[in-house]
């Protein structure tokens, strides 16, 4: 540890007694440490930071080295870009857009089956209306907040209810509707 300043203190005490006179000198050395020096901990931190910096620089240099070689190979394999000469245009081109011709949507006519009977085609719109009406008019079902969708006669019902009995009641009510072929009950029962 370096010392910035060293001071000496001296004190002199005179003791006078009736028989003798005595003088006592007391000296004391005071050293104040130098605060401008670097501590060992600081030197350690600086060494660790320097090593980390050097490591990062070496890694950066190593990662950029192969990329330079690859770029040189890519440039060597590419043909030179073509030379394009542009001649100033005399007039700007005129662009005319014409509306597309309107075509009628094709009409699909289904032929009756070979036996002369019409195939069993479900009417999803009518079934959806019947399902919505049933849910809206039933006092128990209308308060549940369930949603039902119909596709090819299959009713998918979603929502949440408080009991398994309510879930079963919704299922039975939907199966009783004319035109419903199947019910996919995805209602979640909250405990």
Task: Let me know if residue 45 belongs to a domain.
Answer: yes
**pTM for this entry:** 0.38
**Total structural domains in the chain?**
2
Q: In the predicted model, is pLDDT for residue 77 greater than 90?
A: no
- Alpha helices, H only, 78-182: 124-137, 139-142, 164-175
Which neighbouring-strand residues pair with 21? 16
Length reported for the chain:
191
Please list, in sequence order, all residues whose beta carbon lies within 8 angstroms of the beta carbon of residue 134, skipping any fewer than 6 positions away. Answer: 141, 173, 174, 177
pLDDT one-digit tens code per residue, 8-65: 677 777 778 888 888 877 777 777 666 666 778 888 999 999 999 999 999 988 887 7
The whole-angstrom separation of Cα 155 and Cα 136 is 16
Instruction: Provide the residue range defining the domain that includes 48.
Output: 1-69
- 35 within some domain: yes
| Host H or E run for residue 40 | helix 40-77
Q: Which two tokens stand for residue 178?
A: 């004319």
CATH of the domain at 147: 3.30.1340.30
The pairing of strands 21-33 and 147-151 is unpaired
- Per-residue tokens: 160: 């949440």
Of the three residues 43, 69, 95, the one that is the final residue of a domain is 69
Instruction: Quote the pLDDT of residue 118.
Output: 47
For the chain, what percent of residues have pLDDT higher than 70?
67
Mean pLDDT in residue range 77-92:
69
- For the segment 132-160, what is each residue's pLDDT rounded down to a tens digit? 999 999 888 888 888 999 999 999 999 99
50, part of any domain: yes
């Amino acid at each position: 540890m370096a010392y910035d300043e060293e001071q000496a203190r001296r004190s002199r005490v005179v003791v006078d007694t009736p028989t003798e006179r005595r003088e006592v000198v007391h000296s004391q050395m005071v050293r104040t440490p130098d605060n401008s020096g670097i501590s060992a901990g600081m030197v350690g931190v600086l060494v660790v930071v320097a090593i980390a910096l050097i490591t990062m620089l070496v890694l950066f240099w190593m990662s950029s080295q192969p990329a330079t070689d690859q770029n040189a190979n890519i440039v060597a394999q590419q043909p030179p870009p073509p030379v394009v000469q542009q001649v100033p245009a005399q007039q700007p081109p005129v662009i005319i857009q014409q509306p597309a011709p309107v075509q009628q949507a094709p009409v699909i006519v289904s032929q009756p089956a070979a036996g002369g009977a019409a195939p069993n085609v479900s009417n999803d719109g009518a079934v959806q209306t019947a399902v919505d009406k049933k849910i809206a008019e039933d006092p128990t079902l209308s308060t549940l907040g369930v949603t039902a969708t119909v596709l090819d006669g299959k009713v998918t019902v979603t929502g949440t209810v408080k009991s398994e009995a309510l879930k079963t009641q919704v299922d039975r009510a939907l199966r009783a509707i004319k035109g419903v072929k199947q019910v996919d009950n995805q209602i979640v029962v909250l405990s």
